[in-house]
Amino acid sequence: MKHSIKIFAVALLLSFSLTLSAFAGTWMEDSNGWRWQEKDQLSPVSSWEWIDSNGDGMSECYYFDENGYLLTNTTTPDGYTVNENGAWVADGMVRLRAANPSAAASAKKEGRELYYQAIKKSSELQGLDISGDIHMSLSYTDMEVPISMKLRLQYHDINTPNMEFLSETAMQMMGSKDAHQSFYKDGTYYSNGGTHKKYKMKIGHEDMTKNLTLGGLTGQFFAFIDNVQIAAGDSGSKTIVYSSSGDGMEPYLSNINNEIWPLLNELDFKINRISGKAVLTPEGYFSKEDITIDTTMEEDGETAGFTMNIRLDYNNPGQAVTINFPSTDGYEVVVY
């Protein structure tokens, strides 16, 4: 009994201390504006501060000027936007951060469940139409190499006799361009890598499905979602904002590299950080995804930084997908 009472007392004190920290400060207004006073100290000067002023467990981020007054409805000196209440706004939403471990755990659990259900629902669709815009930057000593890639993927009735898909990629790097197009219709696979690189082959839908990795850019980092914020849209949509340290994500990044640029997997790399935003439709499907991956790569004792920004748009998820195929003329026949 004494042991149980001791545990209860510790838990009660911990809960009380968390409550005190949430309400440890107060807003004060004078003729010059608003300031934040906490523990007999006035608000910070020329800096940001995360404040949970209403005690709901989620903190907003505020910027205070050189005199300690809150900036509102403007752009801060470091280039960020704050609304009429002074809260930091990005991508049309007030950015929040959990103010205590309990709030963080609750947001993480809810965000993971929403994200998992979106993966499940989207993977069960008969077809998808996805547009991708990917920007990569390789930095080494004083050199920076920008790389951009555009993707378009459409498919329906996967692993059925009616299966069709169209995949298109276009990449630019240091003035050079490369494009590839592949599609499957009427039991034939077509691949077009440019002049003298066009071939076609007869292949059954079951064997074709085994060789596909359609939609491999989405849902890779579900198990690593952390620091979650969830915002509800007016129409019933939901936005999940998350980040993670990146520990243990390398195998998942390898899957993405295989979809985008397999050459990257020949290098030793470490993920330093990942951040993302997923917009879900009212029905729970993915609508948009933004993913930023910051990595460090090594080769022959040299180190380089590599950043990848992925933007995916899911066009009319849940609706039937109609594909406008290119001409099938000029393809060399090969045997599968």
Q: At 278, list the tokens.
A: 């997923």
Sign of the CA dihedral running 79, 148, 219, 128: positive
pLDDT tens for each residue of 224-274:
788 899 988 778 899 999 988 767 666 666 666 666 556 666 667 778 888
* Across 275-301, average pLDDT: 87
pLDDT tens for each residue of 63-112:
999 999 999 999 999 999 999 999 999 878 888 888 888 988 998 899 88
Mean pLDDT across the chain:
82
- Residue 95 makes CB contacts below 8 A (sequence gap 6+) with 60, 61, 87, 88, 89, 229, 241
* pTM of the complete model: 0.76
Number of H helices, E strands in the chain: 4, 21
How far the first Cα of the chain sits from its last, in Å, is 74
Q: Which is nearest to 286 in space by CA: 135, 152, 173, 131?
A: 131
* Residue 296, pLDDT score: 86
User: Rounded to whole angstroms, what are the CA distances from 7 to 13, 105, 119?
Assistant: 10, 21, 40
Q: Which is nearest to 144 in space by CA: 153, 135, 152?
A: 135
Contact 192, 184 (CB under 8 A): no
Contact 127, 147 (CB under 8 A): no
Looking at the predicted structure, is the pLDDT value of residue 20 above 70?
no
pLDDT tens for each residue of 164-223:
999 999 999 888 888 999 999 999 999 998 766 899 999 998 988 887 765 555 556 677
* Across 120-128, average pLDDT: 87
